[in-house]
């Protein structure tokens, strides 16, 4: 037996060592840019980042690039724009999907299974496949009514919501299927309205699934480039837009775009590390097995 | 700045408040109906906003895109298969198709393989270390394609001759006595496209690791114990006992990654702008539509993309129906 335990322990240490090496390599790209973001312009351009390990104290460490990004390079207002795009684009599809999933799970109607299979099918449609007609339609609406969703945050909310809906409905419905039906029936008998059942019973019980999807959608929208570029573009630029713009100017020094990248990553990383458990659960729930 | 914040807050509150109000209104309308109609229509009242969005922003536009693919750039007349003839006789498009197939050939396989490796390795090291390692592998999933592009453009950076190398790739090549390269311009064997694929594997491996890992953990302990008692080696244990039981998850990760890779766009935009033969369908669409204004051609490109995705859609729906049947 002790031979087996020794073997197991070797196995454990071997795996750990191997992982340290591979995970180390995996992290090098991120670390290299992180270190660069704290270097002065001259050093960032003239000496490789790994030299900071040779002489860490003599490196003119500075927050200058972060300061410049926030003030001059517009990352500060881009941060707010991104937030204005992301929060409703996360909450709205969840509300719509929760109501739809509720109907798919607890209410009877004709063709329920067929419609739901249709939603599963829509999960794989690429955004690009709908883009041109949607933009045409919005232009037509503008010509007819003078009201324009292009150049407007509401446009990003609508598009992000619509494209999030299939996956959101799928995840939430699968979760709601696991809730005890007897509970809902009991509430019906006690005279609760469907509205009350939805808000007081089903929504609170679905919090784990709601949270998983919310994190998923939040990161997705926060990191999106295309929709934000189309709808709010240069007028209210979001972070991905600004980072990409700075990336085109890396001749000014890598430290600028590096700092901008890390500013744009800050919120996703915080959300990710704080709520990792839910995020993982959301992923597991989303995969059709 | 302050007005930006106020405007933002106001938009958020109005946007969310209006949608809540919409549902409340729908519910109230249904409540005013006779009992029998209520029963028939309540589901549709709750489905209405979601279904309206899906039909107006996904379904109808999707069909229109197929229609536009057969029309001229202003959608004023039909041109038959001209847009497709235009595409398939365009050497750039053939290049793009080859690239897309290369992406499908490499990225899902490597993503699954790396995920499998990390999932099984982290399974051996005890819960605390497992959590740390997994977070680090998983971390890139939280960052945007644009930020990932920044990170990797720096890795692949190439400086004018005579200056110190700041890109890691060139520094390593130089260390072994090689010539520094402009990595993203290496079109031979499409090395540059492969370098872009590395980025996606780097980003997506966390996803595949997490799903495969949870599948490995749900493999019944008895099956492993039984094989161990029979004297199976660790490798045999993995390939003969664990792997067959996680096959379903491995396949679903593979398919999800294929779907994701087919519509890849941002990374090409941010890394090369589609130059040096690195363009893909998603990027060519963007270029034809936004930069060249060729609406017909752009529609034909997404029509091709969608047709390529449809088999995967069928796989998804079939496996969903099978799953439902097992409930």
Query: Which ranges in A146-206 belong to alpha helices (H)?
Result: 153-176, 181-189, 194-196, 203-205
Backbone angles phi, psi at B183, to 5 degrees: -55, -45
Q: Minimal Cα distance from A251: which residue of B?
A: B159
Distance of CA B229 to the CA centre of its chain: 42
Question: Domain B83-326: which CATH class?
Answer: mainly alpha
Q: Do B46 and A102 touch (CB under 8 A)?
A: yes
If asked whether residues A242 and A223 sit together in one domain, one would say: yes
Q: B279 in contact with A at a CB cutoff of 8 Å?
A: no
If asked whether residues A129 and A168 sit together in one domain, one would say: yes
If asked whether residues A117 and A51 sit together in one domain, one would say: no
Q: Minimal Cα distance from B314: which residue of A?
A: A121
If asked whether residues A27 and A98 sit together in one domain, one would say: no
**Band of pLDDT at residue B28, cut at 50, 70 and 90:** very high
Q: Is residue B5 scored above 80 in pLDDT? A: no
Query: Which of A10, A38, A63 represents a domain boundary (last residue)?
Result: A63
Query: Distance between CA A128 and CA B283 in Å, rounded?
Result: 10
Q: Please write the tens of the pLDDT for every residue from B144-156.
A: 899 999 899 989 9
Q: Do B263 and A28 touch (CB under 8 A)?
A: no
Q: Please write the tens of the pLDDT for every residue from B274-323.
A: 889 999 999 999 999 989 989 999 999 999 999 999 998 898 888 888 88
* Series of mean pLDDT values for 10-residue runs along chain A (289 residues): 65 89 93 88 80 78 84 83 90 93 92 91 90 91 83 86 92 89 91 92 90 86 90 86 85 82 88 77 61
In the numeric block, the tokens 């480039």 are attached to A225
Q: Do A254 and B118 touch (CB under 8 A)?
A: no
pLDDT of residue A1: 45
The tokens for B241 are 């006992």
If asked whether residues A160 and A138 sit together in one domain, one would say: yes
Residue of B106 and B221 predicted with greater confidence: B106
Task: Name residue B145's beta-bridge partners.
Answer: none
pLDDT of residue A289: 44
pLDDT of residue B40: 83
Backbone angles phi, psi at B71, to 5 degrees: -120, 170
Longest dimension (CA), chain A: 82
The radius of gyration of chain A from alpha carbons, rounded to an integer in Å, stands at 25
The percent of residues above 70 in pLDDT, for chain B, comes to 99
If asked whether residues A77 and A189 sit together in one domain, one would say: yes
Q: Is residue B175 scored above 50 in pLDDT? A: yes
Q: Are B99 and B279 in contact (CB under 8 A)?
A: yes
pLDDT of residue A286: 59
Q: Do A27 and B5 touch (CB under 8 A)?
A: no
Q: Do B289 and A126 touch (CB under 8 A)?
A: no
The tokens for A256 are 């600028």
The tokens for A132 are 């041109």
- Chain B, residues 84-103, CB within 8 A of chain A, namely none
Q: Which of A23, A132, A137 sits opposite B289 (nearest CB)?
A: A132
* Number of neighbouring beta carbons within 10 Å of residue A214: 21
If asked whether residues A136 and A201 sit together in one domain, one would say: yes
- Smallest Cα–Cα separation from B148: which of B204, B190, B192? B204
Chain B residues with CB-CB distance to A153 below 8 A: 11, 15
If asked whether residues A111 and A203 sit together in one domain, one would say: yes
If asked whether residues A145 and A189 sit together in one domain, one would say: yes
In the numeric block, the tokens 């997404």 are attached to B302
pLDDT of residue A155: 86
- Smallest Cα–Cα separation from A198: which of A101, A62, A66? A101
If asked whether residues A164 and A30 sit together in one domain, one would say: no
pLDDT of residue B209: 92
In chain A, how many domains are there? 2
Q: Is B143 left (phi over 0), alpha (psi -120 to 50) or beta?
A: beta
- Chain B, residues 104-143, CB within 8 A of chain A, namely 117-118, 121-122, 124-126, 129, 133, 135-143
pLDDT of residue B143: 87
- Smallest Cα–Cα separation from B224: which of B208, B210, B240, B206? B240
Q: Minimal Cα distance from A121: which residue of B?
A: B313
The tokens for A146 are 């003078």
Domain that holds residue A52: 2-63
Chain A residues with CB-CB distance to B143 below 8 A: 223, 265, 268-269
Alpha-carbon gap: B238 to the closest alpha carbon of chain A (Å): 14
Per-residue pLDDT, averaged over B199-216, amounts to: 91
pTM, entire model? 0.89
If asked whether residues A50 and A74 sit together in one domain, one would say: no
If asked whether residues A163 and A278 sit together in one domain, one would say: yes
Chain A residues with CB-CB distance to B116 below 8 A: none
The tokens for B209 are 């690791």
Query: Distance between CA B163 and CA A45 in Å, rounded?
Result: 9
The tokens for B3 are 């007005």
Q: Please write the tens of the pLDDT for every residue from B224-262.
A: 889 888 888 888 888 888 999 999 889 888 988 998 899
Q: Minimal Cα distance from A94: which residue of B?
A: B50
3-state percent helix, strand, coil for chain A, nearest multiple of 5: 80, 0, 20
Query: Distance between CA B138 and CA B131 in Å, rounded?
Result: 10
Q: Looking at residue A206, what DSSP letter applies? A: T
pLDDT of residue A283: 66
Q: Are A93 and A150 in contact (CB under 8 A)?
A: no
């Amino acid at each position: 037996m002790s031979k087996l335990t020794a073997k197991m322990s070797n196995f454990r240490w071997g795996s750990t060592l191997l992982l340290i090496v591979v995970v180390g390599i995996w992290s090098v790209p991120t670390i290299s840019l992180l270190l660069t973001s704290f270097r002065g312009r001259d050093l960032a351009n003239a000496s490789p980042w790994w030299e900071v390990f040779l002489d860490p104290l003599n490196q003119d460490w500075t927050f200058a690039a972060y300061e410049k990004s926030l003030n001059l390079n517009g990352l500060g207002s881009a941060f707010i724009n991104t937030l204005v795009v992301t929060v409703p684009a996360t909450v709205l599809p969840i509300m719509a999907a929760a109501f739809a999933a509720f109907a798919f799970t607890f209410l009877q109607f004709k063709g329920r299974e067929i419609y739901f299979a249709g939603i599963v099918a829509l999960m794989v449609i690429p955004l690009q496949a709908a883009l041109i007609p949607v933009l045409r339609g919005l232009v037509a609406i503008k010509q007819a009514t003078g009201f324009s969703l292009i150049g407007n945050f509401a446009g990003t909310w609508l598009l992000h919501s619509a494209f999030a809906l299939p996956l959101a409905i799928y995840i939430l419905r699968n979760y709601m299927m696991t809730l005890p039906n007897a509970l809902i029936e009991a509430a019906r008998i006690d005279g609760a309205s469907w509205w009350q059942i939805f808000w007081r019973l089903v929504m609170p019980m679905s919090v784990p699934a709601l949270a998983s999807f919310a994190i998923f959608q939040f990161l997705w929208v926060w990191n999106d480039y295309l929709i934000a570029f189309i709808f709010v573009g240069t007028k209210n630029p979001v972070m991905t837009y600004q980072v990409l713009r700075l990336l085109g100017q890396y001749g000014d020094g890598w430290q600028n775009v590096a700092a901008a990248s890390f500013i744009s990553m800050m919120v996703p990383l915080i959300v990710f590390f704080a709520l990792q458990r839910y995020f993982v659960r959301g992923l597991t729930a989303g995969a059709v097995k | 700045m302050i007005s930006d914040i106020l405007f933002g807050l106001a938009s958020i509150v109005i946007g969310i408040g209006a949608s809540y109000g919409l549902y409340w209104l729908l519910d109230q309308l249904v409540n005013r109906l006779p009992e029998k109609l209520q029963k028939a229509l309540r589901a549709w009242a709750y489905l209405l906003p979601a279904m309206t969005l899906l039909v107006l922003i996904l379904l109808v536009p999707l069909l229109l895109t197929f229609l536009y693919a057969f029309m001229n750039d202003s959608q004023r007349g039909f041109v038959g298969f001209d847009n497709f003839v235009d595409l398939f006789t365009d050497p750039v498009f053939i290049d793009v198709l080859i690239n897309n197939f290369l992406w499908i050939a490499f990225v899902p396989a490597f993503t699954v393989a790396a995920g499998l490796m990390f999932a099984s390795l982290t399974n051996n090291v005890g819960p605390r270390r497992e959590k740390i390692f997994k977070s680090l592998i998983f971390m890139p999933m939280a960052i945007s394609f644009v930020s990932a592009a920044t990170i990797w453009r720096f890795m692949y950076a190439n400086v004018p001759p005579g200056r110190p190398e700041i890109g890691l790739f060139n520094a390593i090549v130089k260390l072994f006595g090689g010539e520094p390269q402009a990595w993203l311009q290496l079109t031979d064997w499409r090395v540059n496209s492969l370098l872009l694929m590395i980025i996606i594997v780097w980003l997506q491996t966390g996803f595949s690791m997490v799903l495969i890992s949870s599948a490995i953990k749900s493999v019944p302990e008895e099956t492993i114990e039984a094989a161990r008692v029979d004297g199976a080696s660790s490798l045999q244990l993995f390939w003969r006992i664990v792997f067959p039981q996680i096959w379903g998850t491995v396949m679903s990760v593979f398919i999800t990654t294929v779907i994701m890779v087919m519509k890849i766009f941002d990374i090409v935009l941010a890394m090369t702008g589609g130059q040096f033969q690195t363009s893909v369908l998603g990027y060519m669409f963007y270029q034809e539509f936004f930069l060249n204004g060729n609406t017909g051609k752009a529609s034909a490109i997404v029509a091709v993309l969608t047709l390529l995705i449809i088999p995967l859609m069928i796989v998804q729906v079939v496996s969903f129906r099978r799953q439902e049947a097992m409930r």
